């Protein structure tokens, strides 16, 4: 194999990057580890806060649904009472 093809093909560059990563990698990891640990802590704290917020939102939605269902029942009962009164009045007019 001709030397210029080896250089042009990137073999030596790849070899140099691999050796550099093997030598420098552990040192970089020792420097980056505290930052990675802090990021994980922040993620866990954010997850906990999101769970609490989602639980509160779920309770609010449940309350709204229950309130709307109650109002619908009251409206239906009022409409039924109004229909009964109308029927009674109409019957009294017809009888009267």
8-29 per-position pLDDT tens digit: 667 778 888 889 888 898 888 8
d(CA 1, CA 7): 11
Which tops the pLDDT comparison, 28 or 1? 28
d(CA 55, CA 59): 6
Range of the domain at 74: 3-91
Report how far Cα 26 is from the mean position of its chain's Cα atoms: 36
Q: Is residue 55 part of a domain?
A: yes
Q: Is residue 80 part of a domain?
A: yes
Q: Is residue 61 part of a domain?
A: yes
Q: Is residue 58 part of a domain?
A: yes
Q: Is residue 96 part of a domain?
A: no
Q: Is residue 69 part of a domain?
A: yes
Task: Of 2-11, 29-38, 65-74, 76-85, give the range with the top mean pLDDT.
Answer: 65-74
- Per the structure, the count of domains in the chain is 1
pLDDT on residue 57: 97
d(CA 13, CA 35): 30
Q: Is residue 40 part of a domain?
A: yes
Q: Is residue 76 part of a domain?
A: yes
């Amino acid at each position: 194999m001709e030397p210029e093809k080896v250089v042009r093909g990137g073999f030596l560059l790849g070899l140099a990057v691999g050796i550099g990563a093997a030598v420098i990698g552990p040192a970089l990891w020792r420097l980056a580890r505290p930052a990675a640990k802090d990021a994980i802590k922040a993620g866990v704290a954010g997850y906990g806060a999101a769970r609490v917020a989602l639980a509160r939102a779920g309770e609010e939605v449940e309350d709204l649904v229950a309130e709307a269902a109650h109002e619908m029942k009251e409206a239906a009962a009022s409409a039924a009472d109004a229909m009964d009164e109308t029927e009674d009045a109409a019957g009294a007019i017809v009888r009267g």
